[in-house]
Amino acid sequence: MSTLPDNVRRLVDEIETEIGDDGPAALAIEGGASRAGSTRAATADAGNGTVEAAVRQILTEIGEDPAREGLVGTPDRVHRMYTELTAGYHVDPERLINRAIFDVGYSEMVVVKDIPFYSLCEHHLLPFFGTAAVAYIPRGKVIGLSKIPRVVEMYARRLQVQERLTQQVADFLMDRLAPRGVGVVLEASHLCAVMRGVRKPGTIMTTSAVLGLFRTSDRTRAEFFAHLQRPGPTA
Ligand SMILES: [Zn+2]
């Protein structure tokens, strides 16, 4: 963890901690300091250039000239980009939920929807992106509202298939909150489908994971899907 490049460390800190928290992210914003142990010297040139060399090879393979002006910085940018888009592997779930689970008597459905997410399809390394809706019925414990999009982001910033991403978000909340049930629905557009082959822009893939009451109770599931139909408040 201590050898993460600064750009990745910053992202991980953002996902783990709240803006305004007295955490590493806040410190980094104020003083440009990174987490203890992660010194600039150790992270300035993360990696040994093999990723850059591989990207140059791809550029050559597709008939490009890696030495031309517009491409000279590309291998380095691509390397940094992939480490950022996969920063979710480095997020510590304990830090993410730290101090954000509360004992509350509330036992009705909690729904958070229209959560934007961006992920990378593991088959093509192309983006898929869309929105997530997450719901659960507490059993004595609730999680801070702002944490739910962070949970989605922790799993989205990895190489994924949409089905697994959906299930991981649901399983995480089930494990951590032990609620009476969890429902997660993801709607996403996959560039590997849109840009190549079938070329059907606008094709949306929907996946869902339902656990507990959301699986066993038709009424709970119906209530969840009714929430998803309802337009949100206009901004
Ligand atoms: Zn794909």
DSSP 139-174: SSEEE-TTHHHHHHHHHHSSEE-HHHHHHHHHHHHH
Per residue in 63-103, pLDDT (tens digit) is: 999 999 999 999 999 999 999 999 999 999 989 998 899 99
Q: Which residues contact 204 (CB under 8 A, 6 or more apart)?
A: 130, 187, 188, 189
pLDDT at 199 over 80: no
Q: What is the pTM for the complete model shown?
A: 0.84
Active site residue: 90, 160, 162, 168, which one? 162
Per residue in 182-196, pLDDT (tens digit) is: 999 999 999 998 887
Q: Band of the pLDDT at 122, cuts 50, 70, 90?
A: very high
Q: What is the distance in A from the centroid of ligand 1 to the CA of 120?
A: 8
pLDDT averaged over every residue in the chain:
87
Active site residue: 64, 124, 167, 187, which one? 124
Q: What is the distance in A from the centroid of ligand 1 to the CA of 190?
A: 7
Identify the residue with better confidence: 218 or 39: 218
What is the pLDDT at residue 42? 39
Q: What is the distance in A from the centroid of ligand 1 to the CA of 160?
A: 9
Q: What is the distance in A from the centroid of ligand 1 to the CA of 13?
A: 28
Tell me how far apart the alpha carbons of residues 169 and 112 are, in angstroms, rounded to a whole number.
Answer: 13
What is the pLDDT at residue 200? 67
Active site residue: 14, 79, 90, 121, which one? 121
Q: Is 94 a catalytic residue?
A: no
